[in-house]
Structure 1
């Protein structure tokens, strides 16, 4: 610190009674922490100052000023005068204080000395200034509203009006929400280094089965082509890999403000319920990104369970396909749709190939340009490029990603409230809300969620309606036919369609524990893995018994389908 003047020097320069020096005031005296270079103002304040010290170095003078007399001083303005530059400080012993004490440093224009002046006024640390901003009680109310999904100033103002609470300015709420988001979720704008440090901090596999961790990540810090990929999961979620040998994958958007896709991978059980393995966050939705996600699943399973996970079926949409609508011809549209729905239910690939050729011949014969364009698109996209959309392509596995798409909708509605979040905020929501809750919902050992746990179902469920229809089917009389499918050749699509829909082929396993793994070519079994034909066959072989509730029908007749008709008036035969 520069030396102050000696006592002898002080006696020459600092009188026992210092003449008052008028402060050249500005309009921003009350501003806290604002440094403003302003010209001289006409008016002057009534504060008088006395000279207290002289320094030979400006840096040391500023160090002394901020802690003068063991008080905390904050620079509030700077003025340029004829004598030199004046730098004013105000006492700021705590936030919201209204202490009138002030000091200023005069940087002389004609030399390098700096003089410290102090206002002739006592400190006042008792009087509180009027509170600026939102009251603490109101802030607590806004925090609760934010946690309940009211995340915009307009929505919060509407709720405050319902609660009969005096509303602050919308700009104040917006500023408070920005601070609250940063406090809860971290900064909105983050760098690749931030993501890397976040991944490193979350890479340790925790003992808690529902705690999120980063199973794998890849970061390329390149100015021309920056890239990052990360995959998060929990012990409880990755355990679902042991129950299935098929995986479902999809990318969803509108979760992140920057437009990055969120990749979800998982499987479905025998009740068509989706069970996620984890979630990946990438910059793009390319083949390499999905390859990273699948490889991350394999590495995590091998690391935790020391087994090699090699799924055999992948269920995914036709990404990048042209989504043409059906042709706008009313009479043909319904028939064309029914033909495609029939082909979706075909039970094996041989029949499917034959059906595609007959389907093309049938609709090409219409000689309609619109139909021809659609048929060409359909053959190229849904036969040549993406062939696995019919049920018989992989018996016993789902043919659509409906369960995964439903999970995407749940994430958007419950966890992000359909708002696109910055990457930093999304990482916090992903760790603390999405992954944690998805894992807890499937934790059978958690006593809190055990009543509504989504356990992995290895066998399809049979409800009362299915038991009832099975009971009806057993009692029906039908003809027994011997059908030979060998060397069958069809020449017309409609004939083939009627023939295939006239009977169902059931391959029944006559085993007491595995009869639910039997297959049938009917639409119900292809989509839900169980049908009345399999259950009826098991009942005939005494492998299961139909519950009494399904047989609770009036004597002498079967219960009819549909809503029961109400009783008519007297004397009317019903």
Structure 2
């Protein structure tokens, strides 16, 4: 998501003026922040849950008894979010039944009897196997949205693996070799976890590929089976080879052990889980000031943009922590867990790939919110719900196609042009056929020295490395279309930044936005200035 643009809309010395303006705009408090210069309160639309496209926000700043109000975006209530309550016609029918004297128990029995007629009751392993056999054959190419079961194992409740997908969903694999995996729980009465797998496009949107009903998410055999199913099934759908190069997941040891099935793939670790686990171990550091310094070091290390730099920076950071005996316990934990066992959580471990699993975890939340309604379902009810889920996902993949390139928005273009005007073009260095180095906004060294350190990798301390890292940005234009690689924070995480777009403008590959400017007024300019002027 791009950064917000704020415009000043009101300034006053009276807090009542700010309060009245806020009430008129139908907003509620979103975030309160305290700074040395004063307090900042951010407000958002009170109906943001009902209308997901509404990004309207207000921001109030208090400083020296002066109040300034800024606004961003505008109210957009064109699309209403899906609700989980019963539809109006159904509620009316239930209300009429209640008015005619039917009790709550009678209504429930009526619903249960209707479900027995419309749903297949699955109470045994044989029933489950019969259901899987009905969907075992892959549909023809003209039935893109029909679900099928490419593989299943149903021996007992402790040995279940049922993979369910659709042709349209698996067709997304032709655009991406990334596989994201996550499990969600409390789905069925049988306490069977639900494994959801998918991939992400260049707009960082998650595209589900299918789901698996499994008996356990701790055994490596579960994930080995998933990898084997995808390697055998996907090439038949997309009519081309399919090689998984990256697997994004949390710290589940079963996934780590199963990576032997994908010898050429890199097992990525979700950055959000890493920093969350580190914060859970902050009690190993007694002093708060030292913990804040450690957290800052970890955040800086996560922004390293290639493997060689990460290895060097990690050694320098551990060397820095070793000098303080109070950090020994946390240092050993961090080194064992996040440098030896699961080291690929930094941005450079996989460029132009999301560094977190947040998108699939948010997707799992929608499954419970929109489909299971946060209830544990019987197996027959869940399988019917799974059919509806996969059908909806398959249709949505057509209306929201896989993004194989990105488009720069107008706000970013304006900021890139502003950055280009301030750029000293003499300091822009060309490293190769498509690689450039540009100075950052707060450089600690010039770009020529930056390049020398980049090739020699000869920093003496971790702080010296961080100063080097923040002094310039490395860009790679080897891709013909955006996204383009940039080593700045926004380039690594959002795949678009002012540096890449600004250099495209400088080289003539991107049109420079035309400034509106001010037209010349009527009459001729004054030939003689006023004799007395006041500054």
Q: TM-score range by the shorter chain?
A: 0.5 to 0.7
Relative distance call for 1:500 and 1:211 in structure 2 (3 A) is same
Aligned residues: 387
Alpha-carbon deviation of 1:243? 0.6
Q: Is the 8 A contact 1:256 1:421 kept in 2?
A: yes
1:243 aligns with 2:175: yes
- 1:150 deviates by 5.0
Q: Is the 8 A contact 1:161 1:167 kept in 2?
A: no
Equivalent residue number for residue 3 of structure 1 = none
Is the contact made by 2:417 and 2:513 (CA closer than 8 Å) also made in structure 1?
no
> Cα offset for 1:535?
1.4
Shift of 1:300: 1.9
Deviations 1:426-472 (A, max 9, x none): 111001x21000000012xxxxxxxxx21100012312221122111
Q: In the alignment, is the contact (CA less than 8 A) between 1:209 and 1:235 conserved in 2?
A: yes
Instruction: Say yes or no: does 1:504 pair with 2:504.
Output: no
Partner of 1:273: 205
Could you tell me the TM-score, scaled by structure 2's length?
0.66
Cα separation, partners in 2 of 1:148 and 1:502, compared to 1, 3 Å: closer
Distance 1:418 1:230 in 2: 22
CA distance in 2: counterparts of 1:337 and 1:554, whole angstroms: 49
Determine which of 356, 377, 380 is the counterpart of 1:400.
356
Do residues 190 (structure 1) and 123 (structure 2) align? yes
Higher alpha-carbon deviation: 327-336 or 346-355 = 327-336
Deviation of 1:231 (Å): 1.1
From 355, 359, 369, give the equivalent of 2:313.
Answer: 355
Q: Return the alpha-carbon distance in structure 1 between the equivalents of residues 359 and 467 of structure 2.
A: 31
SS in 2 for 1:505: strand
Higher helix share: 2
Please give the residue correspondences for 1:173-572 in structure 2 after superposition, counting only pairs within 5 Å: 173-187=107-121, 190-206=123-139, 207-220=142-155, 226-285=158-217, 286-320=219-253, 323=277, 325-328=280-283, 329-368=287-326, 371-431=327-387, 433-443=388-398, 453-478=399-424, 480=427, 481-482=447-448, 483-484=451-452, 485-509=454-478, 514-548=480-514, 551=515
Higher relative contact order (CA 8 A, sep 6+): 2
Equivalent pair of 2:200/2:207 in contact (CA under 8 Å): yes
**Residue 395 to residue 305, structure 1, CA distance change in 2 (3 Å):** closer
For 1:430 and 1:542, the matched residues in 2 are separated by 50
Tell me the secondary structure at the aligned position of residue 200 of structure 1: helix
Q: Per-residue displacement from partner, 1:537-571 (whole Å, max 9, x unpaired)?
A: 111221121344xx45779xxxxxxxxxxxxxxxx
| CA RMSD, 1 decimal | 3.1
Please report how far the alpha carbon of residue 157 of structure 1 lies from its aligned counterpart in structure 2 after TM superposition.
Answer: 10
Give the CA deviation at 1:404.
1.5
State whether residues 416 and 502 of structure 2, in contact with CA within 8 Å, keep that contact through their aligned partners in structure 1. Answer: yes
| 1:156-213: CA deviation from partner (whole Å, max 9, x where unpaired) | 99996899846644433443443344444433x5221111111111123233211211
Q: CA deviation at 1:354?
A: 1.9
> C-alpha deviations, 1:339-380, integer Å up to 9, x for none?
111111101112211222222232343322xx4333222211
3-state secondary structure, aligned to 1:442: helix
In the alignment, the residues of structure 1 paired with residue 334 and residue 397 of structure 2 have an alpha-carbon distance, to the nearest angstrom, of 40
CA deviations 1:224-244 (Å, max 9, x no partner) are x75221111111101001111
Please give the alpha-carbon distance, in whole angstroms, between the structure 2 residues aligned to 1:185 and 1:387: 47
Distance in structure 1 (CA, Å) of the matches to 2:460 and 2:340? 22
Change (3 A) 1:166 1:364: farther
Counterparts of 1:148 and 1:524, CA distance in 2? 34
- Specify whether residues 333 and 157 from structure 1 end up closer, same or farther in structure 2 by C-alpha distance, changes over 3 A only: farther
Could you list the runs of 5+ residues in structure 2 that have no partner in the other structure? 1-81, 254-272, 428-446, 520-533
Q: TM-score under structure 1 normalisation?
A: 0.62
Whole-angstrom CA distance in 1 between matches of 2:518 and 2:337: 53
**Does structure 2 retain, via aligned residues, the 8 Å contact 1:348–1:393?**
yes
Q: Tell whether the 8 Å contact from 2:150 to 2:164 is kept in structure 1 after alignment.
A: yes
Give the Cα separation in 1 of the matches to 2:116 and 2:317.
Answer: 58
- Residue by residue, what CA displacement relative to the aligned partner does 1:58-78 show, whole Å, maximum 9, x if unpaired? xxxxxxxxxxxxxxxxxxxxx
SS of the aligned residue for 1:238 comes to helix
Distance 1:352 1:515 in 2: 27
3-state secondary structure, aligned to 2:138 = coil
Shift of 1:327: 1.4
Cα separation, partners in 2 of 1:162 and 1:179, compared to 1, 3 Å: closer
Q: Give me the whole-angstrom Cα distance separating, in 1, the residues matched to 2:290 and 2:518.
A: 44
Mapped to 1, the partners of 2:495 and 2:83 lie a distance apart of 40
Consecutive unaligned residues in structure 1, runs of 5 or more: 1-146, 444-452, 556-572
